[in-house]
Amino acid sequence: MRFKLIYPKWAKLNRQTEFHLPPHGPVVFAATLPAYVELDFVDENLDEIDFEEPVDVVGISMMLTVQVKRGWQIADRYRRQGVKVIFGGIATMLHAEETMAHADAVFLGEAEGRMEGLLEDLRLGRLKPCYDYLDRRPDIGLVGPARRDILKRELYNHKGVQMVDLVHASRGCRFNCYPCAVSYLGGREFRPRPIDQAVAEMAGIDNNRLFIVDNSLAQNTQWELDLFREMIPLKKNWCSHPIEDKPQVLDLAAQAGAWYVYQAVFDTSDYIKERIKRYHDHGIGVEGTILLGLESHDEEFIKRLIDFLLEIELDLAEFTVLTPFPHTRAYEELSRQGRILSTDWDDYSADRVVYQPKQMSPERLGELLDYAWNTFYQDEPQHIKMARLFKQVVQREMAADTFRPRERRLRQRSFGRVAE
Ligand code: SF4
């Protein structure tokens, strides 16, 4: 069976340095397909879709809301050609009903152990419009290892610098933050993979730089300690979402190669200040993820927050505005209050204001988003700060004798748009 798996393109954030990470959803999904499936993967951000190439079925994997309209377009074209199209991925789950209008089937939930049945239905011509497994999550031990062999790896570098490979060690999140859909998507229960399986997968990745994409590692202290201890011999360098800032956890994380964490900074408290300092004291960088436009944010607060970010010396910061993605508490509340201004999903890029903020006009919030980027990167531009983080990892790799000189040659050969 010839199965073409497509990852639709989307426009990147205006102010972000553009680079492309190897997508994780498609490679995790690919691992769930039976051996008889001949898989061809196209990341449309970097590669063209050949609509003429003969295929038996098309799968469209969507992670982001800004991918859905393009995903629907691709599906419509294939279906006009008589090809069956199946959708899956996070954004399919968030936009299931609308997506069904463009699909022969939508798959909701986690795919492990489910694909044999779905493909059998396809073969027998009895595909159902919706396979809803959202409330029936598979045994976490069935996960992975992801099939990174489907990626055109040479595409995933930035000016010749090797990007990170993505991997996950757990699913679910026990928190339920206001702007986040993870509790709907992955459930409120923290579900760690067996540590030996996750670590074996990391060991098998032909890249010393990883992004551990778990929703949050800061969910179970003993698990973090056990995971980091097992990771030490791998000699990898990795970034992740938050880890706990307890000294013992940070100490082991640093030994295991913690490079930098993404940390939401939502106020100017001593708690945040000390947390960032503790990461730094352990040699772990911090990229702040800064969401502007929450109900309590007025103009004065946002300006004070930016000053604070400079004061605590964040290594990088990414600014976005609150975006009410479906199935979040933000969406429910703003929708109930009639404050959602656009449901054009192409606008849900997190740098456009699509709702009525409580303390200012949408236009003013947009201006303050610009102010935040401009002010934070005024003295030192984003690419310089980023280069410093990469320099740090190269130095570590050289010290550990894991640096790959191939990268130097690649950098010299790399021109233009590969990941520009
Ligand atoms: S924002 Fe992070 S910690 Fe909060 S619910 Fe989402 S994944 Fe969990």
**Which ligand 1 atom sits nearest the alpha carbon of residue 183?**
5
Residues 109 and 200 in one domain: no
Confidence band for 16, pLDDT divided at 50, 70 and 90: low
Q: Answer for the pair 31, 176: CB distance below 8 angstroms, yes or no.
A: no
Kindly state whether residue 186 falls inside one of the protein's structural domains. yes
337 or 413: whose pLDDT is higher?
A: 337
Residues 121 and 181 in one domain: no
Residues 121 and 189 in one domain: no
Residues 75 and 152 in one domain: no
Confidence band for 414, pLDDT divided at 50, 70 and 90: very low
Residues 24 and 170 in one domain: no
Kindly state whether residue 9 falls inside one of the protein's structural domains. yes
pLDDT digits (tens, 9 = 90+) for 363-391: 999 999 999 999 999 999 999 999 899 88
Residue 335 has pLDDT above 50, yes or no: yes
pLDDT digits (tens, 9 = 90+) for 177-200: 999 999 999 999 999 999 999 999
Can you read off the two tokens belonging to residue 413? Answer: 């050969």
Residue 155: the pLDDT is 86
Three-state DSSP class for residue 58 = strand
Residue 56 has pLDDT above 50, yes or no: yes
Pocket residue to mutate for ligand 1, from 90, 171, 175, 290, most atoms within 8 A of Cβ: 175
Residue 416: the pLDDT is 29
Omega within 30 of 0 (cis) for the link into 357: no
Pocket residue to mutate for ligand 1, from 176, 191, 216, most atoms within 8 A of Cβ: 216
Confidence band for 290, pLDDT divided at 50, 70 and 90: very high
Alpha carbon 239 to its chain centroid, in Å, reads: 12
Nearest CA to ligand 1 atom 4: 177
Residues 170 and 313 in one domain: yes
DSSP H/E element including 225? helix 221-231
**Which ligand 1 atom sits nearest the alpha carbon of residue 180?**
6
**Gyration radius from the chain CA atoms:** 22
* H runs (alpha helix) in 87-171: 90-94, 96-100, 115-123
DSSP H/E element including 289? strand 285-292
Residues 113 and 171 in one domain: no
Residue 403: the pLDDT is 81
Find the domain containing 282 and state its range. 148-408
Return the CATH number at 315. 3.80.30.20
Residue 410 has pLDDT above 80, yes or no: no
DSSP H/E element including 388? helix 382-400
pLDDT digits (tens, 9 = 90+) for 347-361: 999 999 999 999 999
Residues 273 and 340 in one domain: yes
Domain boundary among 79, 108, 140: 140
Domain boundary among 140, 163, 181: 140
Can you read off the two tokens belonging to residue 283? Answer: 């040699």
Task: Name all residues whose Cβ lies below 6 A of ligand 1.
Answer: 173, 175-177, 180, 182-183, 215-216
Three-state DSSP class for residue 145 = coil
Residues 225 and 370 in one domain: yes
> Across the chain, what does the average pLDDT equal?
93
pLDDT digits (tens, 9 = 90+) for 205-263: 999 999 999 999 999 999 999 999 999 999 999 999 999 999 999 999 999 999 999 99
Other beta carbons within 10 Å of 120:
12
Confidence band for 418, pLDDT divided at 50, 70 and 90: very low
Other beta carbons within 10 Å of 370:
13
Kindly state whether residue 414 falls inside one of the protein's structural domains. no
Kindly state whether residue 66 falls inside one of the protein's structural domains. yes
Residue 371: the pLDDT is 97
Residue 405: the pLDDT is 60
Residue 413 has pLDDT above 60, yes or no: no
Residue 164 alpha carbon to ligand 1 centre in Å:
22
Return the CATH number at 129. 3.40.50
Residues 354 and 217 in one domain: yes
Residue 214 alpha carbon to ligand 1 centre in Å:
10
Can you read off the two tokens belonging to residue 343? Answer: 């449901």
Q: Answer for the pair 304, 268: CB distance below 8 angstroms, yes or no.
A: yes
Residue 419 has pLDDT above 70, yes or no: no
Residues 50 and 193 in one domain: no
Residue 22 alpha carbon to ligand 1 centre in Å:
22
Kindly state whether residue 413 falls inside one of the protein's structural domains. no
Nearest CA to ligand 1 atom 6: 180
Kindly state whether residue 417 falls inside one of the protein's structural domains. no
Confidence band for 406, pLDDT divided at 50, 70 and 90: low
Find tokens 């809803």 and name the residue.
132
Nearest CA to ligand 1 atom 3: 175
Kindly state whether residue 20 falls inside one of the protein's structural domains. yes
**Strand locations in 149-280 (E):** 157-158, 161-162, 165-167, 170-171, 191-192, 209-212, 237-240, 258-264
Domain boundary among 140, 157, 192: 140
Pocket residue to mutate for ligand 1, from 168, 182, 217, most atoms within 8 A of Cβ: 182
Distance in angstroms (rounded) separating the CA atoms of residues 79 and 72:
10
Kindly state whether residue 232 falls inside one of the protein's structural domains. yes
Residues 174 and 96 in one domain: no
* H runs (alpha helix) in 282-353: 299-311, 329-336
Structural domain total, the chain: 2
Nearest CA to ligand 1 atom 7: 215
